[in-house]
Amino acid sequence: MPSKSANPSARQTQLLEAAYEYALAHGLADLSLRPLAEAIGSSTRVLMFLFGNKDGLVRALLERARTEEVALLEHLRQADRPAGLVPAIEQVWTWLSAGEHRSLLRLWAEAYARSLVEPDGPWAGFAKSTVDDWLDVLAVCQPQRERESEAGAHQRTLALAVLRGALLDLLATDDEHRVTAAVRQQLVLLRHQHRGNA
């Protein structure tokens, strides 16, 4: 039986971190337990004991990737002093466009796409949960009146769509200058819209 403890052993945590680094370098599409186990100094038997099977390991890796994404978003949460949607988008894009995050974001894009085409596999729910995570944090960044309005919901949905589309474009082309310029242009439009609604 795999370990389901809310407090995993030090060995399980160590192997998950090593497997996560492997997944960042190699992706998840062709993940095979035997070469993974060899690369991280373990065995398929140990991995199956700790994670149940390949699907269980993939789920653990997706959750590990999600915790890194949520950690980025958490620092934007200032319910007492909302940052505002435009500054939040600027901060998120600065993080997303940083070269050192490309491997994580390629893994995110792979998992997002797989969860759409394989809704019953280990990817199940990943796309929806990541949308919910981002919309929730963008909502907290909005002033309360804006956050609770229908227009505010539309604005953060558009903001997320722009960020996600720009990210996919950046991952496909590595054209940071062009994509960042497009994001900034959208921010100009959003600022004007906010001023018009003030």
Looking at residue 151, what is its pLDDT?
Answer: 92
DSSP the chain: -----SS--HHHHHHHHHHHHHHHHH-STT--HHHHHHHTT--HHHHHHHHSSHHHHHHHHHHHHHHHHHHHHHTT--TTS---HHHHHHHHHHHHT-GGGHHHHHHHHHHHHHHHH-TTSTTTTHHHHHHHHHHHHHHHHS-HHHHTSHHHHHHHHHHHHHHHHHHHHHHHH--HHHHHHHHHHHHHHHHHHHHHH-
Q: Work out the percent of the chain whose per-residue pLDDT is above 90.
A: 44
Mark the ranges of the chain whose per-residue pLDDT is less than 50.
Answer: 1-5
Domain locations in the chain as residue ranges = 65-197
Looking at residue 140, what is its pLDDT?
Answer: 87
Looking at residue 198, what is its pLDDT?
Answer: 57
Query: For the segment 61-86, what is each residue's pLDDT rounded down to a tens digit?
Result: 888 888 877 777 676 665 556 678 89
